[in-house]
Structure 1
Amino acid sequence: MNSINQRLQKVSQYIKGETIADIGSDHAYLPIYAIKNHLCQFAVAGEVVKGPFEAAKINVKKYGLDNSIDVKLGNGLEVLDQENNIDSITICGMGGPLIASIIEKGKSKLQNHPRLILQSNIQTITLRQALSNINYHIIDESLIEENGHIYEIVVAEYGNQFMDDFDLKFGPILLRQKNNLFTKKWNRELQALEKIKRNLDEDKHFNRLNEINKEIKMVQEVIL
């Protein structure tokens, strides 16, 4: 396997160390790519759903990587041993709240402080809050557009960081770079918020309207 989708390829660029764990590994595409391209020497592919777990095992066998990739069935970071020596953990293709819950529930498995490479589909704010809660700081971020959707990738390592509301919502690094994709993403979000606002009744949805107005103001402040 020499190629994977752009998103996973971008994620793979942040892998460091000899051992990775890919959580929610689906067909184990990322671990297979990482081993084949010498980005690491050993990988754990964790999957909670039986179907993709079986598919990952078949795939790993097909590429003759049984000795290099350990495919495990389990929820989140449960697939890691307590004394694991994982250097990088990748969690991709999920919503921010789900990734947040995986790293918060599994924080006891992070005692050797692996790098976390997280790619969320939506609500990355919750993921950034979770990183802060488990004492991780963001060292890099990037945006990638694939099939019309803009995804965020967040890379974090152990250590403290203060983030204000703007950092949490927009990303401390993305906010300072403000590239074209960033502007495109938040212009879209602004349009979506304004559409929601038009459909809300001032009396019935007073609190929700306040929240939406506050969000709109934040986004406008950043991109206009």
Structure 2
Amino acid sequence: MNNNLRLSNRLEKIASFIAEGTTFADIGSDHAYLPCYVCLHDRNAQAIAGEVRKGPFQRAQKTVSHFGLSNQVDVRLGDGLQVLQDCEVASVIIAGMGGSLIKTILDEGSDRLGSVEQIIAQPNIDEQSVRQWLIRHGFTIADETMVEENGYIYEIVIGSNQGGIQELTEKQLLFGPYLLKQKPELFYQKWKHEHDKRARTLEQMKKASVPDDKKITAFTNELTWIEEVLSDDNGYA
């Protein structure tokens, strides 16, 4: 059996949060690299690789077959969490898509989350939507991290149903409670870029023939928050 499978930095970081021996689902698994990687390194793990499109579904099947993991990785064709039965997995991974889509997948499949103790989400954008969903549905934010890949900076949010409901401010929802405390170097890189992008957007909004005062206020508040959290960086002006 060939077990020479390497993951991208982003997927490897996600894999590091999956506890040993866990039964988990990777939703939108594409080639099923993530579940195969985990199961190659953990013979007690069991995985479900879900794909909504036939092409990626077939690619995932080929990957599982190539690595001889058909007894550990079950590839299923279906929409989001609909590939799961209730109380079937302890952990769900949804990575590589927008935060609003992740939220929709969780909403539409909420009846399949009865046994889920952990949700690992890696939204490409709109991370606050994911945090909001987790908090509103009884999960806490258990951890967060950032990773850079191919010039993009990604946030990984770990939700847990252990410990009750966590209250977060709007500022914490935007930046992430752990990331806001830790402020790794990637945090500064991301939010300097976001500050400049939002400042340009705000100027365009103000020049609109009919300015949206509500959106302008929201953007202005966020820009103020960004300037505050970046103020610890002496290089920021």
TM class by shorter-chain length? over 0.9
1:21 counterpart = 2:25:
yes
- Equivalent residue, structure 2, for 1:171: 176
Opposite residue 182 of structure 1, the aligned amino acid is F
- Equivalent residue, structure 1, for 2:122: 119
SS at match of 1:185: helix
- Equivalent residue, structure 1, for 2:47: 43
Count how many residue pairs are aligned between Structure 1 and Structure 2.
223
Please say if residues 92 and 116 of structure 2, whose CA atoms lie closer than 8 Å, have aligned partners that are also in contact.
Answer: no
- Correspondent of 1:222 among 219, 225, 229: 229
Please say if residues 202 and 209 of structure 1, whose CA atoms lie closer than 8 Å, have aligned partners that are also in contact.
Answer: no
| Residue 149 of structure 1: how far off its partner (Å) | 0.6
Q: How far, CA to CA, are the matches of 1:3 and 1:107 in structure 2? A: 32
SS at match of 2:68: coil
- Correspondent of 1:82 among 86, 95, 98: 86
Answer with 168-177 or 59-68: which moved more.
59-68
- Equivalent residue, structure 1, for 2:143: 140
Q: Deviations over 1:138-188 (max 9, x none)?
A: 110000011111000001111310011011100011011112111111110
Q: How far, CA to CA, are the matches of 1:30 and 1:220 in structure 2? A: 37
- Equivalent residue, structure 2, for 1:69: 73
TM-score of the superposition, structure 2-length normalised? Answer: 0.89
1:205 counterpart = 2:211:
yes
Q: Deviations over 1:110-135 (max 9, x none)?
A: 11132111111001000001101211
- Equivalent residue, structure 1, for 2:234: none
Fraction of identical pairs, as percent = 39
SS at match of 2:158: strand
Q: How far, CA to CA, are the matches of 2:152 and 2:113 in structure 1? A: 31
Opposite residue 93 of structure 2, the aligned amino acid is T
In structure 2, the CA distance between the partners of 1:65 and 1:180, relative to structure 1 (3 Å rule), is: same
Answer with 175-184 or 32-41: which moved more.
32-41
Structure 1 gap segments, 5+ residues each:
none
1:129 counterpart = 2:132:
yes
Please say if residues 20 and 40 of structure 1, whose CA atoms lie closer than 8 Å, have aligned partners that are also in contact.
Answer: no
Structure 2 gap segments, 5+ residues each:
232-237
TM-score of the superposition, structure 1-length normalised? Answer: 0.94
Q: How far, CA to CA, are the matches of 1:19 and 1:162 in structure 2? A: 29
- Correspondent of 1:98 among 91, 97, 101: 101
Please say if residues 43 and 68 of structure 1, whose CA atoms lie closer than 8 Å, have aligned partners that are also in contact.
Answer: yes
- Equivalent residue, structure 1, for 2:197: 192
Please say if residues 34 and 40 of structure 1, whose CA atoms lie closer than 8 Å, have aligned partners that are also in contact.
Answer: no
Q: How far, CA to CA, are the matches of 1:3 and 1:193 in structure 2? A: 36
Q: How far, CA to CA, are the matches of 1:54 and 1:137 in structure 2? A: 35
In structure 2, the CA distance between the partners of 1:134 and 1:198, relative to structure 1 (3 Å rule), is: same
Answer with 210-219 or 7-16: which moved more.
210-219
SS at match of 1:199: helix
Q: How far, CA to CA, are the matches of 2:127 and 2:44 in structure 1? A: 27
